[in-house]
Amino acid sequence: MKILKAVIIICFIGISFSCLRKEKSVVTEINPEIFEHQNIYVSSIGTSIQYIRLNSEYIFQSIISFDSSDSLFFICVRPEGQLLVYNKDGEYKKMIGTNGRGPGEYRYAMNFCLDRKNKRVFILTQQKIILYSFNGEFIKEFTISKYNTRFDAIQYLNNHIYLFENIKMGYSIYNWLVLDTTGNQISCNLNNIPKFNSRQIPLNDITFKHGNLLFYWNQFNDTIYQIMNKNHSAAFLFSKGNVRITSANRDNDYIYYNECFRPSKIIKTNNFFIIKYA
């Protein structure tokens, strides 16, 4: 099965690419059918590049996800699903928590977020959220089983925890849920797409962060939402077209894997929108 993988960088400054079209509203429309290939200098994205080699004290297979503070890298790794900490020189420092089912333990660390101000780590598991210090000390945990779903991503912003859910097998309860740091619900945004029959279990990152704003998108929705505390609004829009996933092609493997536009990761900088897609 032929799959084309690519990364497109969309510029927001100067003369916009033709794949972006500003309507009368503030919502920017992204049309994946007319992406233009242009050379972008790395200096346009960042002021410097640094290559950091992680030492081999702890051997792992691959990296699932990572984040960083001013002085530390936090990396979830396969195959054990453990959360490791390295310094900015690539030296292994410690493991956060341990694998297990008891208090302060997790079966698999894949989704986590950082509270950089208070130097805390939140690990999302299927049934609970576990809180550790940057030094690896267990602080507390609280259950999220009462929400009767499995959340796929977690973010921390302004003393609130944001849990995000993807549409799996044609169904989800929430788009996102907002909690305080003790687990009490602050607000939520329910998924309004009716349940449909599907075999698809999306593997895309459904949330990303830029400054004091969070963004949410799932592959069955045309809108990327911008979230700020209890408020949200449409920030970007994927155009309708032949490459969009629809009810007619979502379970046609040939069309889905060969003709559909399937973003797996979205990153926003001050001047660019970076999309990794197949």
Is 101 within 8 Å of 91 (Cβ atoms)? no
Question: What's residue 1's pLDDT?
Answer: 44
pLDDT at 20 over 70: no
In sequence order, the 6+-apart residues with CB closer than 8 A to the CB of 64 are 76, 77, 78, 81, 110
Picking from 150, 174, 177, 175, the residue whose alpha carbon sits closest to that of residue 163 is 177
Picking from 202, 200, 232, the residue whose alpha carbon sits closest to that of residue 216 is 232
Task: State mean pLDDT over 157-181.
Answer: 93
Q: What are phi and psi of 145, to 5 degrees?
A: -65, -25
pLDDT tens digit sequence for 193-222:
898 888 888 778 899 999 888 999 988 888
For domain 59-143, which architecture applies?
Beta Barrel (2.40)
Task: State mean pLDDT over 34-51.
Answer: 83
- Rounded distance, CA 80 to CA 278, Å? 27
% the chain with pLDDT above 70:
91
pLDDT at 23 over 50: no
Question: What's residue 13's pLDDT?
Answer: 39
Higher-confidence position of 7 and 199: 199
The structure's pTM equals: 0.87
Sign of CA dihedral 15, 18, 20, 22: positive
Is 159 within 8 Å of 119 (Cβ atoms)? no
Mean confidence (pLDDT) of the chain:
86
Task: State mean pLDDT over 51-65.
Answer: 89
Question: What's residue 9's pLDDT?
Answer: 56
- Rounded distance, CA 25 to CA 73, Å? 39
- Rounded distance, CA 138 to CA 118, Å? 14
pLDDT at 5 over 80: no
pLDDT tens digit sequence for 99-117:
888 888 888 887 999 999 9
In sequence order, the 6+-apart residues with CB closer than 8 A to the CB of 268 are 208, 210, 215, 274
Question: What's residue 6's pLDDT?
Answer: 58
Instruction: Enter the DSSP assignment of 254.
Output: H
Q: How confident is the model at residue 26 (pLDDT cuts 50, 70, 90)?
A: confident
